[in-house]
Structure 1
Amino acid sequence: MSFVRRAATVLAAATALTVGLAIPALAHVTIQPGTAEQGGFTKVAFRVPNERDDASTTKIEVSFPTDHPLAFVSVKPLPGWDVKVTQGKLPKPVKTEYGDLEEAVTKIVWSGGKINPGEFQEFEVSMGQLPKDTDSLVFPTKQTYSGGEVVDWSDAPKTDGTEAEHPAPTLKLVPASGGDKHGTASASAAPAAAAPSVAPVAAATSASDGTARLLGGAGLVVGVIGVVIGALGLRRRPTA
């Protein structure tokens, strides 16, 4: 029986470790998918999990870059949520293939809805034309809870590769593949006219890397269970 108890203890510890590793990976506000092609148009989703057990998320505020502004931005309506898109004058005009861009979207705020404890929500945005002179775009985000707490997800990525305490959602930009001039986004995500305007929204978001982490963690638990069961079988096998 002592062996069985030790095996159960090992199994419980492995399960707790797996869950402990998986939850932080899903807890941050992220942008999905996390990669797009330079010079193209794309549709992304800001994925917002609720991290509190005693409060709901009631407002999300996403700031858009002004050093690499996006001429075409539109949002997908989300039932139960109000959305406000703010355009502002840029510090200095930015040259684009559509002409000098003097104003651009600087902020999008979703409010009026609710993300309950243990839930998450995705806020979808179509955007472009993505810049060609940078390898990432950072979108600082503020998450407001029903109790009044505001979590500021605005930490820039660390140069040493480690994760910041409150990392800002970051879209990595890679060189275009050489196919469609609008990159990997579907044609519906491209602008209808060669002038700053609002682009329609593309199809549903891709699968999350967070889900992959959870599945990997579940696989670890299943592996530990197999080892324990095998050890128990050897322990109980009768001798010749």
Structure 2
Amino acid sequence: MFRAFSSLPLGSPTVDRLAVGRLAVVGGVAGSALFLLAGPASAHVGVQPQGEAAQGGYAVINFKVPNERDDASTTKIEVNFPADHPLASVMPQPVPGWKATVAKEKLTKPLKMHGNTITEAVSKVTWTSTGGKIGPGEFQQFPLSVGQLPEDTDQLVFKALQTYDNKEVVRWIEEPKEGEEEPQSPAPVLKLTAATGDGHGGSGSDSDHDSASDADADKAAAKTGAQQNGATETASADSSDTTARVLGGVGIAVGAAGVAFGVLAGRRRTTT
């Protein structure tokens, strides 16, 4: 092919078409390489629920933290909670190599939750490395159990700070606006789904746990009753079987004694 191409006169239509084709291939490869190089830079701290995060309910959410640097590792992540929609219950799941610290602050307006008055809410959760790290080309998830989720909004915005071991701090604090382009350093946004059932849905609803416990208790009671009835019937059957065996044995013994008595009586008459 190369010989055929080199033997063609310059400026011919065939040469022009081949040259354009080669330029297109080279341009496509270069564009793909640029896209791959730009990929890691577009990654950012985000938050997603495990399952769903329903309004008025409880949920487990994961903060996904990617490492965007080629020469540094992430050693600290701080997540600030929204003050306009406070969350009273926040429990971190242990992450090996990291220490979680939950900070709370007093509320200007107390909350009502399950008949109790809540006077403080979580303001920030910080994960600090105790040996673990997020290296170049890696990411780490930090799970939290949170609730009770608000019922008057369809999203929660968390502002996060990511610290590298070279002391660089990246601020993921820009709130995305609907209908606008994503900001350069967007804050993590948790989308909430509509409340279901009694308005206390989600992955950690107390009513769900209570219903499941009652159902399990009913099943256990029914199983126990069936086992007891079965044991009683088995015992009765065993007792009847034993009685029949005893009576049968007595009958056989009486019959054998009668036969022996008849034989002895016959011998006595013969002798006389």
Q: State if a TM-score over 0.5 links the two structures.
A: yes
Is structure 2 residue 39 aligned with structure 1 residue 60?
no
Which residues of 2 match residues 138-149 of structure 1 at below 5 A?
138-149=157-168
Is structure 2 residue 225 aligned with structure 1 residue 184?
no
> Residue 10 of structure 1: CA displacement?
4.4
SS at match of 2:36: helix
Q: Distance in 1 between matches of 2:38 and 2:171?
A: 22
Which residues of 2 match residues 128-167 of structure 1 at below 5 A?
128-167=147-186
8 Å CA contact retained: 1:72, 1:191: no
Cα distance change, pair 191–170 in 1 and its aligned pair in 2 (3 A): farther
> Residue 97 of structure 1: CA displacement?
3.9
Q: Distance in 2 between matches of 1:9 and 1:53?
A: 27
Deviations 1:213-239 (A, max 9, x none): xxxxxxxxxxxxxxxxxxxxxxxxxxx
Letter in 1 for 2:171: D
> Residue 187 of structure 1: CA displacement?
5.3
Identity of aligned residues (%): 50
Cα distance change, pair 53–191 in 1 and its aligned pair in 2 (3 A): farther
Higher relative contact order (CA 8 A, sep 6+): 1
Q: Distance in 1 between matches of 2:84 and 2:24?
A: 56
> Residue 85 of structure 1: CA displacement?
1.0
8 Å CA contact retained: 2:154, 2:191: yes
| Aligned residue among 104, 110, 122 for 2:127 | 110
More helix, by proportion: 2
More strand, by proportion: 1
Q: Distance in 2 between matches of 1:16 and 1:71?
A: 47
Is structure 2 residue 134 aligned with structure 1 residue 119?
no
8 Å CA contact retained: 1:64, 1:105: yes
- Find runs of 4+ consecutive structure 1 residues off by over 6 angstroms: none
Letter in 1 for 2:181: T
Letter in 2 for 1:141: A
Q: How many residues align?
A: 189
> Residue 100 of structure 1: CA displacement?
2.5
Cα distance change, pair 100–24 in 1 and its aligned pair in 2 (3 A): same
SS at match of 1:115: coil
Letter in 2 for 1:12: V
Letter in 2 for 1:107: K
Map of 2:48 onto structure 1: 32
Q: Mean alpha-carbon deviation: is it higher for 150-159 or for 29-38?
A: 29-38
Q: Distance in 1 between matches of 2:97 and 2:44?
A: 23
Map of 1:74 onto structure 2: 91
SS at match of 1:15: helix
8 Å CA contact retained: 1:66, 1:91: no
Q: Distance in 1 between matches of 2:37 and 2:49?
A: 24
Q: Distance in 1 between matches of 2:202 and 2:37?
A: 35
Q: Distance in 2 between matches of 1:21 and 1:186?
A: 39
8 Å CA contact retained: 2:41, 2:68: no
Q: Distance in 1 between matches of 2:161 and 2:169?
A: 6
| Aligned residue among 96, 106, 113 for 2:113 | 96
Map of 2:66 onto structure 1: 49
Q: Distance in 2 between matches of 1:60 and 1:130?
A: 23
> Residue 174 of structure 1: CA displacement?
2.3
